[in-house]
Amino acid sequence: MRGLKAMLWEASVLDPYEGIRFHGLSIPECQKLLPGAPGGSAITAESMLWLLLTGKVPTEAESRQLARELAEKGELPVYATQLIDSLPATLHPMTQLSIGVAALNHDSVFQAAYERGMQKSEYWAYTLEDSLNLIARLPALAARIYRNVYKPGTALPDINKDLDLVGNYTNLLGYGANHDLTEYLRLYISIHGDHEGGNASAHTAHLVNSTLSDPYISYSAALCALAGPLHGLANQEVLRWQLEMQKELGDNITTDQIKDYLWKTLKSGRVVPGYGHGVLRKSDPRFIALQEFCDTRPDLLASPIIQMVKKTYEVAPGVLMEHGKTKNPYPNVDATSGCVLYHYGLTEFKYYTVIFGVSRALGALTQLVWARALGLPLERPKCKNLPSTHAHGSLT
């Protein structure tokens, strides 16, 4: 279905050469226009959520009002904490997130209203309420998973009503005192929020919700798509791959050594994680924005893992072009996103896609609201059959 326009998506457009635009705004334009948190300059999740949902740039006051509203709804119900605490710490954090999000449909107002017999014209309003409630609860859910898997026995703070969503999330993860990491996560979460509707996670939410499944179970399904290594799990895979390279070749690695390592990866039949894309045909502007974040901070510039990302970027496109398979030899956002987290001490890379999952909710859920407001139908594409499967016994 590549290139076949088969979905309606209100909030963003992905151009192969320009990259993502959110309601017409490029990432640098969003960085200029969308309000940050008090004491910070990175785009807040609330500002991006407002833009995605309404098509308008919020004022600072509007963004803060939304932050307060989300913080007030942010605590997890007891049944959800008990469920998450009962899961084995060895279960992948993405599976735990998908389970937790699905379970929150216990409180779905959409499902309750559907049972009462609501009108079709009311679908969007209940979808909106469920979506905002879910986005509000994601930091507490995602942080509880992190605590259970990596820091068992430590206390989780309450939600601070004066903080924005990402401020609370970083605080709950135990990194609230690290201003740079909080700002990085604000940028990360806002620019990962939406990437047009055809990506596997957003598309899954759209498909499942078209059956009138509520937003919780629709987004839980989307998280299962995000958990695949060709999609969101790539940010975990990039770090694993970079660390393996570092272990084999040391810190002062040369670009020639990286070239050899890239060929070794390709010749073993593996993909180079963080490179290539289904739509993009140039370096991902999200990758560029995260690199620019690194360029303004001396500690990140001096970090061996960030230097390795930069050196890899110098040679990987050439190697991938020579290899000749991928249509896009340039980096996508995953080529750098996890490495910055690693530098800041958030080293548990199996957790990284959970952060992506907190973010992608902004786009995937707001577009469910529009799909229901516009009365989009049940999605049911026609299939092409293989003639041979109709013949009796042809598959034996």
Instruction: Tell me which residues are annotated as active site.
Output: 231, 277, 334
Q: Does 277 bind ligand FCX (CB under 6 A)?
A: yes
Determine, following the binding rule CB under 6 A, whether residue 194 of this chain makes contact with ligand FCX. no
Is 174 or 232 the residue whose CB approaches ligand FCX more closely?
A: 232
Q: Which residues, other chains included, contact 387 with Cβ-Cβ below 8 Å and sequence gap of 6+?
A: none
161 binds ligand FCX (CB under 6 A): no
CB nearer ligand FCX, residue 95 or residue 326: 326
Interface pick for ligand FCX out of 231, 343, 360, 372 (rule CB under 6 A): 231
Structure tokens at 174: 């135990």
Query: Which of 40, 276, 338, 363 touches ligand FCX (CB under 6 A)?
Result: 276
Least Å distance, CB 334 to ligand FCX, is: 5
The interface region with ligand FCX, picked from 93-101, 230-238, 367-375, 384-392 by CB under 6 A, is 230-238
The answer to the question of residue 367 lying near ligand FCX (CB under 6 A) is: no
Is 104 a residue that touches ligand FCX (CB under 6 A)? no
Q: Residues 25, 109, 243, 271: which binds ligand FCX (CB under 6 A)?
A: 271
Residues from 196 through 215 that contact ligand FCX (CB under 6 A):
199
Least distance between ligand FCX and beta carbon 359 (Å): 11
Selected binder of ligand FCX within 83, 128, 135, 234 (CB under 6 A) = 234
For the record, the structure tokens of 197 come out as 């509707």
Min dist. Cβ of residue 87 to ligand FCX (A): 25
Nearest CB to ligand FCX, comparing residues 164 and 237? 237
SS (H, E, C) the chain: CCCCCCCCCCCEEEECCCEEEECCECHHHHHHHCCECCCCCCECHHHHHHHHHHCCCCCHHHHHHHHHHHHHCCCCCHHHHHHHHHCCCCCCHHHHHHHHHHHHHHHCHHHHHHHHCCCHHHHHHHHHHHHHHHHHHHHHHHHHHHHHHHCCCCCCCCCCCCCCHHHHHHHHHCCCCCHHHHHHHHHHHHHCCCCCCCCHHHHHHHHHHCCCCCHHHHHHHHHHHHCCCCCCCHHHHHHHHHHHHHHHHCCCCCHHHHHHHHHHHHHCCCCCCCECCCCCCCCCHHHHHHHHHHHCCHHHHCCHHHHHHHHHHHHHHHHHHHHCCCCCCCECCHHHHHHHHHHCCCCCHHHHHHHHHHHHHHHHHHHHHHHHHCCCCCCCCCCCCCHHHHCCCCCC
Fill in the amino acid letter for 386: L
When binding is defined by CB under 6 A, the residue of 193, 273, 357, 363 that contacts ligand FCX is 273
CB of 225 to ligand FCX, least distance (A): 9
The answer for 324, left when phi > 0, alpha when psi is -120 to 50, beta otherwise, is: left
Residue nearest to ligand FCX (CB): 276
Does 188 sit near ligand FCX (CB under 6 A)?
Answer: no
Contact status, residue 62 vs residue 85, Cβ threshold 8 Å: no
Q: How many CA atoms lie within 13 A of 270 on its CB side?
A: 14
Q: Show the binding pattern over residues 28-47: x = contacts ligand FCX (CB under 6 A), - = does not.
A: --------------------
| Among the residue ranges 5-13, 245-253, 269-277, 366-374, the one whose residues contact ligand FCX (CB under 6 A) | 269-277
**Residue among 303 and 359 whose Cβ is closer to ligand FCX:** 359
- Encoded one letter per residue, x for contact with ligand FCX by CB under 6 A and - for no contact, window 325-344 reads xxxx---xxx----------
Span near ligand FCX by CB under 6 A; candidates 3-11, 77-85, 264-272, 296-304: 264-272
Q: How far is the CB of 289 from ligand FCX (least distance, A)?
A: 14
Binding residues vs ligand FCX (CB under 6 A): 199, 230-232, 234, 266, 271-278, 325-328, 332-334
